[in-house]
Amino acid sequence: MTFLTPTIRERLLSRAGTTGSATILAERTPKPVVTIRPARPTDFPQMLAIFRRVCATGDSYVFSPDTPVRQVYDYWFGRDVEATCVAVVNGHVIGMYRLIANQKGRGSHVANVSIMVDPDARRDGIGLALGRHFVAQARAVGFLAIQANIVVSTNDAILALARKLGFAKVGRLPRAFRHRKFGLVDAYVMYLAL
């Protein structure tokens, strides 16, 4: 659990604008609480919106922003997914992560992780809170390590966050990612032993 700073509150308020929830956020809960909890299917529309915004920039995930809804749903809620959690403030999803076995069978003790934070909610500790949560969660369900398979070399935010969580770069994949602005760029494989 974490508290929102004034900055994030203002950004969420300005977006909440016409919904009426702004008043509640501003006047009744001066320190809104961010809760991280297991995702529910009813969270999916908000998760989909974040997914589309994140993928539209073409600088972090391989997915096209117009990936079919069913495919996005299965990505977060499919049968093989070990855990999907969301960060929520006043019922509004502002970020999420997914843990899944990186390989089947003899590689299934290593988790793979995906993380996304709403662009309007960034730089306020949500990513770090989700990161600490997925590390604890991965340990709790018995994974022995977490691997990120394609960390784009130009993605300063995730590189800094991964470093804070203790991940090490264990490999460099030359020109493995087709960046929307920069063209072919390198990517890292990152690893955290638990």
Ligand X SMILES: CC(C)(COP(=O)(O)OP(=O)(O)OC[C@H]1O[C@@H](n2cnc3c(N)ncnc32)[C@H](O)[C@@H]1OP(=O)(O)O)[C@@H](O)C(=O)NCCC(=O)NCCS
Which residues of the chain form contacts with ligand X (CB under 6 A)?
54, 60, 115-117, 122-128, 148, 151, 155-158, 160-161, 164
CB closer to ligand X out of 44 and 51: 51
CB closer to ligand X out of 58 and 127: 127
- The minimum distance between CB 77 and ligand X, in angstroms, equals 19
CB 98 within 8 A of CB 79: no
Dist CA 58 CA 20 (whole Å): 33
Locate 86 and state its tokens. Answer: 């969301």
CB closer to ligand X out of 10 and 20: 10
- The minimum distance between CB 95 and ligand X, in angstroms, equals 6
- The minimum distance between CB 128 and ligand X, in angstroms, equals 3
Q: In what order do the strands lie in the sheet with 33-38?
A: 2-3, 33-38, 81-89, 92-101, 110-117, 145-152, 183-193, 168-179
Which residue's CB comes closest to ligand X?
127
CB closer to ligand X out of 20 and 143: 143
- How do 145-152 and 168-179 pair as beta strands? unpaired
- The candidate with the shortest Cα–Cα distance to 104, out of 112, 93, 116, is 112
Which residues, other chains included, contact 179 with Cβ-Cβ below 8 Å and sequence gap of 6+? Answer: 58, 59, 152, 154, 185
Total residue length of the chain: 194
CB closer to ligand X out of 12 and 158: 158
Which residues, other chains included, contact 125 with Cβ-Cβ below 8 Å and sequence gap of 6+? Answer: 2, 5
Can you tell me which residue has the tokens 């320190």?
A: 31
- The minimum distance between CB 27 and ligand X, in angstroms, equals 25
- The minimum distance between CB 187 and ligand X, in angstroms, equals 9
- The minimum distance between CB 126 and ligand X, in angstroms, equals 4
CB closer to ligand X out of 147 and 155: 155
